Structure 1
Amino acid sequence: MNVNSKKYNKVLSYPAPIQLKDMSLHEQAIVTHYLHNKNTPEAAPFIDAVQKILCKYKIETPVDTDTLQENPLQTSLFIEHNVPFPTPPSPRFTFIDLFAGIGGFRIAMQNLGGRCVFSSEWDKDAQKTYKANFGDVPFGDITTEEVKQFIPDNFDILCAGFPCQAFSIAGKRGGFEDTRGTLFFDVAEIIRRKQPKAILLENVKGLVNHDKGKTLATILNVLRNDLGYFVPDPKVLNAKDFGVPQNRERVFIVGFHPDLNISEFDYPKPLGIKVSFKDVKETPPVPTKYYLSTQYLSTLKKHKERHARKGNGFGYEIISDDGIANAVVCGGMGRERNLVYDPDITDFTPQTNIKGEVNREGIRKMTPREWARLQGFPDAFRIPVSDSAAYKQFGNSVAIPVVQAVGKEILKVLKYA
């Protein structure tokens, strides 16, 4: 929606060059969010803060303008078209991206024609990856009022992949107040204040039975009874049913504002597309650093044998080219349960400080790019962080095709499709 820029964009000109890297992450979040929301009502929460930031850096000549074509803030600090995933040119709806991670929700919703008007993610490495791909820096800790004040009004959909936490509800009714001190409380508080048309929440499958079902029951009670939203029963969906070769089950919770009088919602059905790891496997040669050392491989084999003798199925696993990957996760055996055969290695010279030699069996870890593909990230997605940080980020992300499939059904109900 275009509006009068004199009302919503008090642009400041300045004589001295300044770069985003010269600002704090919080200041970068303010400036980049302002620029992403320029010429829209969603720019309103950022205007005064942007002026204070520019004055802080001794950029103190305010001017009003009807055009941003020569806005020095735009051209010197932030070139939107240089990012691989810019805002759609003619967005059909708006959304916010809470616990944003590296932007899995954002890609899915932008693919559906949405414009992100606010994002929040506290992890600094994830903020770096998010900025590299979308151009704006997510705000930090969403539990603080300092961050909440920048959430615009009147956005359409709230998206959040919030962490799972237990609530202290013993002897209580399990309502809004009982969630205080948890991250879900902050999600619920934002819903209460902003009243979005729809909500889209994602969590681990374990939420269903967490704390003997009390956690999910409390969440549903808050959304349905305290906030009044129509919330159908949550649904566990598997990424492998939506076009990516990963066995990843996650629970989705959808809700609609009471004023919309919506009483029906159908979660998406599996696509019926046959997928396997070879669909995402990198073209050889893969760098030697991803191949296991002989000593580490021996350790993994002994570890698996010990558990096998006890009747346990723990241990490493090698995914065949025709197989489906296990869920990519950042902790535990996340990488070791997703090893692959890749015999096309020609250089056995160790590239890292490993113990032993590079194994001759062709066994390697999946690469960060393969993990990205398993989560549905396009190859244009930039990975500006170390491998260890990248594994963590993709392991914590949502599977984009699943989010997009659920989002598509939400838009149908909202009549935006």
Structure 2
Amino acid sequence: MAEEGNEQVHRVLSLFSGCGGMDLGFEGHFIANKKSFPTDDERIDCELNDNWVLLKKNNFKTVFANDILPEAQVAWTEYMRRFGYDSNIYHCQSIVELVKMQKAGANIFPKNIDVVLGGFPCQDFSVAGKRMGFDSQKDDYGKKREDNKPSEESRGKLYYWMKQVIDIVRPKIFVAENVKGLVNLGNVKDIIQKDFASADGNGYIVLPPQVLHAGNYGVPESRERVIFIGIRKDALNPKAIEALESDNIPEEYNPYPSPTHACTIKDDSLLSPVTTYDVLKDLKEPEESLDESQMIYSKAKFQSNGSQGQIEIKLDKIAPTIRSEHHGNIEFRRLSAEHGGKHTRELENGLKERRLTPRECAMIQTFPPDYNFVMKRPTGRGYILSSSGAYKVIGNAVPPVLAFNIATRIESLWDKYFI
């Protein structure tokens, strides 16, 4: 654990980092919609205007990140440099390669790691995919294996390589994330929970995983993710061990954050859900914007075949899940009256049918409005990060506001947990 000023800083190793939704949430100090937080929330640094706030910096510091997508590295590095990071922190390689290199004697992973984060690949567990799970025939780079057979290095088993990183660096706590569909895929959830617990010679208490709905945490999106949290036993104090190993974990020791917004649950004490209008209302139309991430968008035509993506978002409700593998099927910001569009006032004002822009997708995912997702080359010809790449990494990400809630809950329990 490092020292910065008079505060202890918890060192974070991030795996399957993507464009940094989980990392940003743990770092904090980013712009968020005011309605995502109570007005008296102590986690708010300052109010920027009537609609936006700046969140406080958390005591987590990312010291290592990795992903196989070059687009993700570009986006992550561009934004995270404001925290003083450079591209050397981000390793654009497969976790399989990195673990093998470490075991061969290379110094890949930093020492003195407090937290490991990892949203291991979800396509093989998703209800939107083929749900191959452990039988995935794609390798660690997502490509079809030549022998058409699953292996220990297949995309469906990359969580186990995350477990091996945990073996190596022995963090005090780890947080792993995947799609909700995983919990309904046979005994996959139980196998993963047991494998994670076996890290460091059965050295971890892995709490029963929970499915968190992003809408219940101030995210204007119907996104559900299963979260695994594991804590190293020999770092815990006796009271914490007793509490975390009990059948009913006392609330004061539960690391999962409590809902803040009444999206899928009925509770008058919670805030109203954040809507798509709340996060999109300040944006200009693409033809009027100077923001590269707002200026271009998918031109895929409307299809009346009922396939996914052929609906417009509801401005007074939360949005559907922002997907990565959209292939031109990203939802519409608005449909024409001919195609059943409901945003009558906008249509009457001459606004045209179009799909969501990368910026709008990012705002729905709660990325801050100053996060660049579409970037031109310095020559002005072509893109370092194109709109198609932007859609991909945004759809793969954990909403930063959801991650922020997880991070601040864990941070609040740190001294209660650890010796």
TM-score (normalised: structure 2):
0.64
The reply on whether 1:363 has 2:356 as its aligned counterpart is no
**Structure 1 pair 103–223 and aligned structure 2 pair: CA distance change class (3 A):** same
For residue 91 of structure 1, report the CA deviation from its aligned partner. 5.9
Match in the other structure for 1:216: 189
> Contact 2:13–2:117 at 8 Å: present in 1 too?
yes
The reply on whether 1:321 has 2:238 as its aligned counterpart is no
**Structure 1 pair 409–146 and aligned structure 2 pair: CA distance change class (3 A):** same
The within-5 A match list for 1:50-199 is 92-111=9-28, 112-135=58-81, 136-137=86-87, 138-139=90-91, 140-144=93-97, 145-146=100-101, 149-164=107-122, 166-167=133-134, 180-181=152-153, 182-199=157-174
**Structure 1 pair 318–114 and aligned structure 2 pair: CA distance change class (3 A):** same
For residue 321 of structure 1, report the CA deviation from its aligned partner. 1.6
Which structure: greater helix fraction? 1
The reply on whether 1:253 has 2:228 as its aligned counterpart is yes
For residue 332 of structure 1, report the CA deviation from its aligned partner. 4.1
> Contact 2:14–2:117 at 8 Å: present in 1 too?
yes
For residue 363 of structure 1, report the CA deviation from its aligned partner. 2.2
**SS in structure 1 opposite 2:96?**
coil
2:259 counterpart (263, 267, 270): 270
The within-5 A match list for 1:275-286 is 275-281=274-280, 282-286=282-286
Structure 2 CA distance for aligned equivalents of residues 118 and 167 of structure 1 = 27
> Contact 1:325–1:338 at 8 Å: present in 2 too?
no
**Structure 1 pair 315–126 and aligned structure 2 pair: CA distance change class (3 A):** closer
Letter in 1 for 2:369: D
Structure 1 CA distance for aligned equivalents of residues 25 and 297 of structure 2 = 32
Letter in 2 for 1:217: D
Structure 2 CA distance for aligned equivalents of residues 361 and 89 of structure 1 = 53
For residue 335 of structure 1, report the CA deviation from its aligned partner. 4.4
Letter in 1 for 2:95: I
Match in the other structure for 1:402: 402
For residue 126 of structure 1, report the CA deviation from its aligned partner. 1.0
Letter in 2 for 1:124: P
The reply on whether 1:207 has 2:182 as its aligned counterpart is yes
Match in the other structure for 2:214: 239
**SS in structure 2 opposite 1:95?**
strand
**Structure 1 pair 149–206 and aligned structure 2 pair: CA distance change class (3 A):** farther
Letter in 2 for 1:296: K
Measured against aligned partners, the alpha-carbon deviations of 1:96-132 in whole angstroms (never above 9, x if no partner) come to 1111101111111111221111111111111111111
Measured against aligned partners, the alpha-carbon deviations of 1:312-357 in whole angstroms (never above 9, x if no partner) come to xx6621122212100000224784435336776899xxxxxxxxxx
Which structure: greater strand fraction? 2
For residue 167 of structure 1, report the CA deviation from its aligned partner. 3.1
Structure number with the bigger relative contact order (C-alpha 8 A, sep ≥ 6) is: 2
Structure 1 CA distance for aligned equivalents of residues 10 and 371 of structure 2 = 23
> Contact 1:290–1:366 at 8 Å: present in 2 too?
no
Letter in 1 for 2:260: L
> Contact 2:13–2:65 at 8 Å: present in 1 too?
yes
For residue 405 of structure 1, report the CA deviation from its aligned partner. 1.1
For residue 253 of structure 1, report the CA deviation from its aligned partner. 0.6
For residue 92 of structure 1, report the CA deviation from its aligned partner. 2.2
For residue 361 of structure 1, report the CA deviation from its aligned partner. 6.8
The within-5 A match list for 1:1-16 is none
In the alignment of these two chains, the number of paired residues is 300
Structure 1 CA distance for aligned equivalents of residues 169 and 328 of structure 2 = 37
> Contact 1:235–1:251 at 8 Å: present in 2 too?
yes
**Structure 1 pair 129–291 and aligned structure 2 pair: CA distance change class (3 A):** closer
Aligned residues with identical type, % of pairs = 27
**Structure 1 pair 89–209 and aligned structure 2 pair: CA distance change class (3 A):** farther
**SS in structure 2 opposite 1:92?**
strand
Match in the other structure for 1:415: 415
Structure 2 CA distance for aligned equivalents of residues 390 and 89 of structure 1 = 39
Measured against aligned partners, the alpha-carbon deviations of 1:1-33 in whole angstroms (never above 9, x if no partner) come to 77xxxxxxxxxxxxxxxxxxxxxxxxxxxxxxx
